[in-house]
């Protein structure tokens, strides 16, 4: 007797061998048909019960949400919707779910809002929607590693606790072992972090980039894929306080090679999802179509979910300078008719999501890579161009989401980097090790960062980033 996953059973032929399948009850109709799901697929396995041969007390425990084991034979299905079903000979209750309590949870059969599902995040994985999202997330994570490993990158584990602020933004979560009620203080009355666990102020990382650069200078091509943290008080559908970042860093890569890599990488992982998450993406696409029926026609997407994914794969990414983009946006109808929330008046403006989406969805009608941004709106480590006012930065823009990737050619010149750090009040002693890279065999190098949840959000079509991570961490919310 063998125990098999439902995803495998549904692709099998009828067999005279007895099998055992374990899962959670999705429904039990007419005291005869059990819909069983074990999380391996969005599809349920139908188990047919001859109720006259089973104890009534046992069958009363076969309720929605209960964990059970069904032993029987795989036979050709007599009904529509599935090719095979299990003719049950034996049922074992592994874990009861009391009907009166199930009615109070998202396990009940009625449709629930995404907000309600977030309130019961420990149970929402049992729903079709979140099963599909999280299986897709898992496949995408595998595709990330597969792509980089196939292309001779080395996986680098960057530190979670750090004493540096890679972005220079200052929005970081402090890590301390000091007593919050009675911390040691110095002569000026300030908290004395010299007495703290690490002997200095430390924080949760906002990026593994700077550390990854050090390893790229020895291993050539590396990538990080791990959790990062931003103490940004932003309650939007696109921001999380804790999220996962993919950050490759490559020695001897200029900006053009960096853009080539970003485009090739994105197309690979999306193609992998289309090939390996077909059933889940079909379900999520249908869910999205149903959701959009309640929207005005003007707000509905022009493409279905899978059409949008294929759109990314089938189109070359258009490469446009920031200066060209500003000219296009200044002349655009939404800007001239003051339809943009943030009007574009002059060169140097920091582009918003509405501007990025206009370029992708309305003007170019393809994915866009913007590059050569004003130095004043970008980080200190980006290479200064010969014009002295722009840097070798690049952003990849997608339909429906705007920026999904941000990267740059890094500043490899010691003197220029020191001057930029001084201009931004970044102490040299704090990043002495980063400056050392420019003293010992410096070279042209580049990298980019991609927020993994943004990628999952795009691939699954979900409107809120809180629905593509198991337990979202946002301002005022660290539940579960």
Residue-range domains of the chain with CATH: 2-105 (2.40.50.140), 128-171+206-467 (3.30.930.10)
> Which residues is 365 bridged to in the sheet?
none
Query: What is the average pLDDT across 228-237?
Result: 88
Per-residue model confidence (pLDDT) at position 68? 98
Distant-in-sequence, close-in-space partners of 205: CB < 8 Å, separation ≥ 6: 158, 159, 160, 161, 162, 166, 228, 229
Q: How confident is the model at residue 312 (pLDDT cuts 50, 70, 90)?
A: very high
Which pTM does this prediction carry?
Answer: 0.94
Per-residue model confidence (pLDDT) at position 166? 67
Distance of CA 427 to the CA centre of its chain: 33
Q: How confident is the model at residue 169 (pLDDT cuts 50, 70, 90)?
A: low
Burial of 186 (0-12, 13-18, 19+ CB in 10 A): exposed
Tokens 């050090």 belong to which residue? 214
Q: How confident is the model at residue 301 (pLDDT cuts 50, 70, 90)?
A: confident
> Using CA atoms, how far apart are residues 305 and 288, in angstroms rounded to an integer?
8
Burial annotation 445-455 (CB, 10 A radius, 16+ → b, else e): bbbbbbbbbbb
Which tops the pLDDT comparison, 235 or 447?
A: 447
Residue 465's CB is within 10 A of a number of other CB atoms, namely 21
Tokens 């296009």 belong to which residue? 328
Per-residue model confidence (pLDDT) at position 170? 61
Which tops the pLDDT comparison, 3 or 288?
A: 288
Q: How confident is the model at residue 247 (pLDDT cuts 50, 70, 90)?
A: very high
Per-residue model confidence (pLDDT) at position 325? 98
> Using CA atoms, how far apart are residues 458 and 284, in angstroms rounded to an integer?
12
For residue 319, give the DSSP letter: E
Distant-in-sequence, close-in-space partners of 447: CB < 8 Å, separation ≥ 6: 209, 212, 213, 216, 247, 248, 249, 250, 253, 258, 407, 408, 410
Per-residue model confidence (pLDDT) at position 67? 98
> Using CA atoms, how far apart are residues 244 and 226, in angstroms rounded to an integer?
5
Q: Is the pLDDT of residue 167 over 80?
A: no
Q: How do strand 67-76 and strand 45-48 relate by DSSP bridges?
A: unpaired
Query: What is the average pLDDT across 224-246?
Result: 92
> Using CA atoms, how far apart are residues 255 and 144, in angstroms rounded to an integer?
21
* CB contact at 8 A, 251 and 412: no
Q: How do strand 368-374 and strand 318-321 relate by DSSP bridges?
A: parallel
Number of H helices, E strands in the chain: 15, 17
> Which residues is 423 bridged to in the sheet?
none
Residues in the chain: 480
Nearest to 442 by CA among 222, 148, 214: 214
Q: Is the pLDDT of residue 1 over 60?
A: no
pLDDT digits (tens, 9 = 90+) for 201-210: 999 999 999 9
Query: What is the average pLDDT across 372-401?
Result: 95
Q: How confident is the model at residue 142 (pLDDT cuts 50, 70, 90)?
A: very high
For residue 352, give the DSSP letter: P
Mean residue pLDDT across the chain: 94
């Amino acid at each position: 007797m063998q125990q098999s996953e439902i995803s495998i059973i549904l692709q099998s032929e009828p067999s005279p061998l007895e099998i055992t399948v374990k899962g959670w009850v999705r429904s039990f109709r007419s005291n005869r048909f059990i819909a069983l799901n074990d999380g391996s697929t969005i599809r349920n396995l139908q188990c047919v019960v001859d109720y006259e041969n089973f104890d009534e007390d046992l069958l009363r425990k076969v309720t929605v949400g209960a964990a059970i084991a069904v032993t029987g034979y795989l036979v050709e299905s007599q009904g529509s919707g599935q090719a095979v079903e299990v003719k049950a000979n034996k049922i074992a209750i592994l874990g009861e779910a009391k009907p009166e309590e199930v009615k109070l949870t998202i396990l009940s059969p009625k449709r629930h809002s995404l907000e309600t599902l977030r309130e019961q995040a420990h149970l929402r994985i049992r729903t079709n929607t979140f099963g599909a999202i999280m299986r897709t997330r898992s496949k995408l994570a595998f595709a990330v590693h597969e792509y980089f490993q196939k292309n001779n990158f080395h996986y680098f584990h960057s530190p979670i606790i750090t004493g540096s602020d890679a972005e220079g933004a200052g929005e970081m979560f402090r890590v301390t072992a000091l007593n919050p009620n009675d911390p040691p203080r110095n002569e000026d009355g300030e908290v004395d972090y010299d007495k703290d666990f690490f002997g200095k102020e430390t924080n949760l990382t906002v990026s593994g980039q700077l550390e990854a650069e050090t390893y790229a200078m020895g291993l050539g091509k590396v990538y990080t894929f791990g959790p990062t943290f931003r103490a940004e008080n932003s309650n939007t559908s696109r921001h999380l306080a804790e999220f996962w970042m993919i950050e490759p860093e490559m020695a001897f890569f200029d900006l053009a090679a960096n853009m080539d890599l970003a485009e090739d990488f994105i197309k690979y992982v999306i193609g992998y999802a289309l090939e390996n998450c077909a059933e889940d993406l079909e379900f999520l696409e249908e869910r999205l179509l149903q959701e959009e029926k309640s929207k005005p026609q003007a707000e509905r997407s022009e493409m279905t979910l899978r059409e949008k994914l294929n759109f990314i794969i089938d189109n070359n990414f258009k490469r446009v300078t920031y200066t060209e983009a500003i000219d296009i946006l200044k002349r655009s109808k939404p800007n001239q008719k003051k339809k943009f929330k943030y009007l574009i008046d002059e060169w140097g403006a920091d582009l918003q999501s509405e501007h990025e989406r206009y370029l992708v969805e309305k003007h170019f009608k393809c994915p866009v890579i913007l590059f050569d941004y004003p130095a004043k709106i970008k980080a200190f480590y980006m290479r200064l161009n010969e014009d002295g006012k722009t840097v070798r930065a690049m952003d990849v823009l997608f339909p429906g989401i705007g920026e999904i990737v941000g990267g740059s050619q890094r500043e490899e010149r010691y003197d220029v980097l020191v001057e930029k750090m001084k201009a931004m009040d970044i102490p040299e002693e704090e990043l002495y090790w980063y400056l050392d890279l420019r003293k010992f065999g410096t070279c042209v190098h580049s990298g980019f960062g991609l927020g993994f949840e943004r990628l999952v959000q795009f691939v699954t079509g979900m409107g809120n980033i809180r629905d593509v991570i198991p337990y979202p961490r946002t301002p005022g919310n660290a539940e579960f």
